[in-house]
Amino acid sequence: MTFTSRSALPGFHLALGYTLVYLSLIVLIPLAGVFFKATELGLAEIWAILRSERVLSALTLSFGTALIAAALNAVFGTLVAWVFVRYDFPGKRLFDAMIDLPFALPTAVAGIALTALYAGNGWVGQWLEPLGIKIAFTQVGIIIALLFIGLPFVVRTVEPVLRDMEKELEEAAALLGASRWQTIRLVLLPSLLPSLLTGFALAFARGVGEYGSVIFIAGNLPYVSEIAPLLIVIRLEEFDYTGATVVAAAMLVIAFVMLFVINGLQAWSNRHKVRNQSLALPVQGAKQ
């Protein structure tokens, strides 16, 4: 055994063996199948499929809307996290628990509910329609659905960092003469940045692949409001497995890149955390 250090605890081989077998059977081998399937085609063919206008516009739409929604979530999610961590108001606990609703609510339910709400005759839509704002069955609808899906990712990554942030940093800034806005801009936001970017990336990654909540509200017009996952489904229904596979492979590659980026971001923000601890730990020791 060279790749593990010795341990007194038993069960390592059994546990790791089972983990690797299960992981391979359920995740790795099936995923590899996508690339096997794609390699049946030549590069030129793959390129031709990816370059077709319908595929291109579907991919662009999925990425574009996910990007916009993640950016909006970064702003509003930070606002929500800030309000929850810093202020007290009635119903706070209830709202706090509700933040995770998008994690728990089936996407199809979210999809039809948002559609009912933002359609021209819906509770919200009826006020916007006279103003000429159409949400349901447009690209805006997709962004609304992705806002819903992505919100908890930002809130739940920013919230703990904000909670752990030493109040002293703000006090120090104020004592040194900084205005509140300067404190937020120069001290708070830079400290939040790693977690904010992580939340953004998580929301974005989820948004690109999202299907259930989007298809009801999107309108699904080819070239206009047809997202990439829907295009995969349509290709499958047409028994065009090759076409579906190529789009899926493209999405997978991008998902892997995102995973890589997210891991990097998390390592970055963790390093930040370790630094904070190493500043604080000896103090706690000395205090006792």
Partner 1 sequence: MDITLNTIDKQFGQFKALDNIDLHIESGELIALLGPSGSGKTTLLRIIAGLEFADGGGVYFGGEDVVAIPLRKRQIGFVFQHYALFKHMTVRDNVSFGLRVRKGEIRPDKAAIRRRADELLDLVQLSELGDRYPHQLSGGQRQRVALARALAIEPKVLLLDEPFGALDAKVRKELRQWLRELHQKTGVTTLFVTHDQEEALELADRVVIMSGGKIAQVGSVDEVYERPASPLVFDFLGSTNRIPAKLQDDHLIVGGQQIVRYNGNQTGNVTIYVRPGDLRVAGTRDIGLDATVLNVQRTGPIVRATVEIPSTGQRLSVEMPHLHHDVKQLIPKQTLRLRLMQFSVFAAEPDLISESIIAPHLIGRERLRQA
Partner 2 sequence: MSTTLSVKANHSAVTESAGMRQLLIAGALLFLLLFLLLPLISVFFEALRNGIGTYAEALTEPDALAAVKLTLIAAGISVPLNLVFGVAAAWAVAKFEFRGKTLLITLIDLPFSVSPVVAGLIYILMFGASGWAAGLIADTNIQIIFALPGIVLATIFVTFPFVARELIPLMQEQGTDDEQAALSLGANGWQTFWHVTLPNVRWGLLYGVLLCNARAMGEFGAVSVVSGHIRGETNTMPLHVEILYNEYNFAAAFAMASVLASLALLTLGLKSLLETRHGEALSQSHKH
| Displacement of CA 181 from its chain's centroid (Å) | 29
| The binder of partner 2 chosen from 33, 47, 277, 279 (CB under 8 A) | 33
Partner interacting with residue 7 (select from partner 2, partner 1, none; CB below 5-8 Å by kind): partner 2
Size of interface with partner 1, in residues (CB under 8 A): 27
* CA–CA gap between residue 247 and residue 49 (Å, rounded): 8
Within positions 204 to 263, which residues make up the interface with partner 2, using CB under 8 A?
A: 205-206, 208-212, 216, 228-230, 232-233, 236, 241, 244-245, 248, 251-252, 255-256, 258-259, 262-263
Partner interacting with residue 286 (select from partner 1, partner 2, none; CB below 5-8 Å by kind): partner 1
Within positions 139 to 198, which residues make up the interface with partner 2, using CB under 8 A?
A: 144, 147-148, 151, 156, 160, 167, 170-171, 173-174, 180, 183
Do the Cβ atoms of 235 and 62 come closer than 8 Å? no
162 is written with which tokens?
């904000």
CB nearer to partner 2: pick between 123 and 223: 123
* CA–CA gap between residue 285 and residue 282 (Å, rounded): 5
Instruction: Give yes or no for residue 173 binding partner 1 (CB under 8 A).
Output: yes
Within positions 221 to 280, which residues make up the interface with partner 1, using CB under 8 A?
A: 272, 275-276, 278-280
- CB neighbour list of residue 31: distance below 8 Å, 6 or more residues apart: 252
Give the x-and-dash track for 267-286 against partner 2 (CB under 8 A): --------------------
Q: Dihedral, CA atoms, 288, 162, 148, 119, nearest 10 degrees?
A: 130
Minimum distance of partner 2 from residue 128's CB (angstroms) = 11
Do the Cβ atoms of 125 and 136 come closer than 8 Å? yes
In 3D, which of 152, 136, 132 has the Cα closest to residue 144?
136
